[in-house]
Amino acid sequence: MTISALLIDITLWGSVLVLGLIAFRRGRVVVVSAAREGGMDFINIVPRIALGVIGSGYIAAVIPPEIITGWLGPDSGWLGVLTAVIAGGLTPGGPVVGFSIGAVALKVGGGSPQVIAYVVAWALFAFQRLILWEIPFMPARFVWFRAAVSVPFPFLAAALAMAIGKP
């Protein structure tokens, strides 16, 4: 287990403990009720997470990264931004995959605004994260709504990147 994973676990369970203590001071009933609710949520969510985690490996395996980097050509202008946004939404896998593809795209000469658009789109509405994490935990209507209102923002980020220029 890496240090950062350990830190995440400590903060996570630490927060549970702190909130649990606050709840306990309000009365035992509050803790019991929260534990029951949380436990039921967990049981309800596990099959969805299982499908997402185990399934995403297969989805990632059939979408080769070369296809995605190929779309982020240099000097591709707004068409490049558009393809970057679509590519970001379609990129499967965890944070390593998205950022690595962005890094590869930069290395092979992808334009910075396009790569920004790609990274922002991927952060906002990569379909796999929506499916794997967001839908199981949140009301589906909220998730689709949020993804839909997020659509303009990778374009805005690219426009800002073009206006500000490279650092």
Partner 1 sequence: MKQPAPADDSPEAEAVPRRKRKPVGWSMIFIAVLVAVSATLVYRRDGIDGVLKILTDDLWLFGEILPRVLAGCLLGALITEILPHEKVSRSLGPNSGLKGLLIGTAFGAILRGGPFTAYPVAAALLTVGADFGATIAMVVSWTLIGYGRAVAWELPILGTDFTLWRIVISLPIPILAGALGRFVYVRMYPKGEPT
**Interface residues for partner 1 in 124-163 (CB under 8 A)?**
124, 129, 131-140, 142, 145-146, 149-150, 152-153, 156-157, 160-161
Q: How far is the CB of 73 from partner 1 (least distance, A)?
A: 18
Residue 116 sits in the site that holds partner 1 (CB under 8 A) = yes
3-state helix/strand/coil string of the chain: CCHHHHHHHHHHHHHHHHHHHHHHHCCHHHHHHHHHHHHHHHHHHHHHHHHHHHHHHHHHHHCCHHHHHHHCCCCCHHHHHHHHHHHHHHCCCCHHHHHHHHHHHHHCCCCHHHHHHHHHHHHHHCHHHHHHHHHHHCCHHHHHHHHHHHCHHHHHHHHHHHHHCCC
> Which of positions 5-34 make contact with partner 1 (CB under 8 A)?
5, 8-9, 11-13, 15-16, 19-20, 22-23, 26, 30, 33-34
Nearer to partner 1, 72 or 161 (CB): 161
Candidates 28, 44, 67, 74: give the one binding partner 1 (CB under 8 A): 44
66 belongs to the binding site for partner 1 (CB under 8 A)? no
Check residue 81 for interaction with partner 1 (CB under 8 A): no
Interface with partner 1 includes 76 (CB under 8 A)? Answer: no
* 65 lies in the site for partner 1, by CB under 8 A: no
The set of long-range contacts for 146-150, using a CB threshold of 8 Å and a minimum separation of 24, is: 150/124, 150/125
Task: Determine which residue in the list 102, 110, 111, 114 makes contact with partner 1, applying CB under 8 A.
Answer: 102
Query: 81 vs 119, which CB is nearer to partner 1?
Result: 119
